[in-house]
C-alpha cells in the first residue's frame, strides 16, 4: 500500500502546518518560546534541588526577595511591581517573615505603614540562590557546541528587550 504524501489532520502537529499569513507564525513563535522558557525553568529548578534542597523556595518568594534587594517597599508597592494582589503578597511576605528572610520596618514617610526589608539571612539566601543558578547554567552552557552557546549569548539582548516589553502594561 503506497504511503500518502500528506499527513492526516488528526496527527499533524503545529510544526507540520504551513502558516497561511504572519499571525500563525507569530503565534507559533510565541508558543515555541513559551515552551522553551517553561522547560528551561523546570530543568534548572529540578537540577539544582539535588545540591540545594532550599531551592524548593517558591519562585514567587524568590522574586519578592529579588525586588526587595534594591530597597525596602510597602506591601502595596511590592504587589504593584510583581503584578500580584496585595493579599497574595501579604501571604508571601508572611512566609518570608517566618523564615527570617525579611522584616518589617517603620516607614519614615508614614508611621502607620511598614516597609518590608531584606534581612542579612534573606540576602544570603538570595545570593546563594543566584550563585547556584549561575553555576548550573554555566555548566550546562559548557556542554553546548560553540555555535549553540554563541546563539544563546547573541539572543540575550533580544530576550532582555522581550522581558522589558512584557513588563509594560498591555496597551
- Mean pLDDT over 121-150 rounds to 92
Altogether, the residues listed in the chain come to a count of 171
| pLDDT tier for residue 143 given thresholds of 50, 70 and 90 | very high
Question: What pLDDT is stored for residue 153 in this prediction?
Answer: 97
Distance, in Å, from the CA atom of 170 to the CA atom of 168, rounded to the nearest integer, reads: 6
Mean pLDDT of the chain: 83
Distance, in Å, from the CA atom of 30 to the CA atom of 28, rounded to the nearest integer, reads: 5
Distance, in Å, from the CA atom of 32 to the CA atom of 26, rounded to the nearest integer, reads: 10
Residue 135 or 8, more confident: 135
Distance, in Å, from the CA atom of 97 to the CA atom of 109, rounded to the nearest integer, reads: 22
Question: What pLDDT is stored for residue 85 in this prediction?
Answer: 94
Q: What is the pLDDT of residues 64-112, one digit of tens each?
A: 999 999 999 999 999 998 889 999 999 999 999 999 999 999 888 887 8
- Mean pLDDT over 26-55 rounds to 83
Question: What pLDDT is stored for residue 117 in this prediction?
Answer: 96
Residue 100 CB partners (closer than 8 Å, separation 6+): 119, 121, 122
Question: What pLDDT is stored for residue 48 in this prediction?
Answer: 75
Amino acid at each position: 500500500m503506497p504511503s500518502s504524501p500528506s499527513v492526516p489532520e488528526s496527527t499533524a502537529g503545529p510544526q507540520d502546518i504551513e502558516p497561511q499569513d504572519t499571525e500563525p507564525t507569530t503565534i507559533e513563535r510565541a508558543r515555541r518560546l513559551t515552551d522553551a522558557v517553561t522547560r528551561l525553568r523546570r530543568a534548572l529548578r529540578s537540577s539544582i534541588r539535588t545540591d540545594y534542597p532550599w531551592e524548593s523556595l517558591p519562585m514567587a518568594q524568590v522574586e519578592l526577595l529579588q525586588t526587595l534587594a534594591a530597597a525596602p517597599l510597602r506591601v502595596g508597592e511590592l504587589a504593584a511591581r510583581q503584578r500580584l494582589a496585595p493579599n497574595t503578597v501579604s501571604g508571601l511576605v508572611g512566609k518570608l517573615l517566618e523564615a527570617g528572610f525579611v522584616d518589617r520596618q517603620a516607614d519614615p514617610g508614614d508611621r502607620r505603614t511598614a516597609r518590608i526589608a531584606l534581612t542579612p539571612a534573606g540576602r544570603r539566601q538570595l545570593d546563594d540562590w543566584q550563585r547556584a543558578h549561575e553555576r548550573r547554567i554555566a555548566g550546562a552552557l559548557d556542554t553546548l557546541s560553540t555555535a549553540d552557546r554563541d546563539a544563546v549569548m547573541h539572543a540575550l539582548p533580544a530576550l532582555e528587550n522581550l522581558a522589558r516589553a512584557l513588563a509594560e502594561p498591555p496597551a
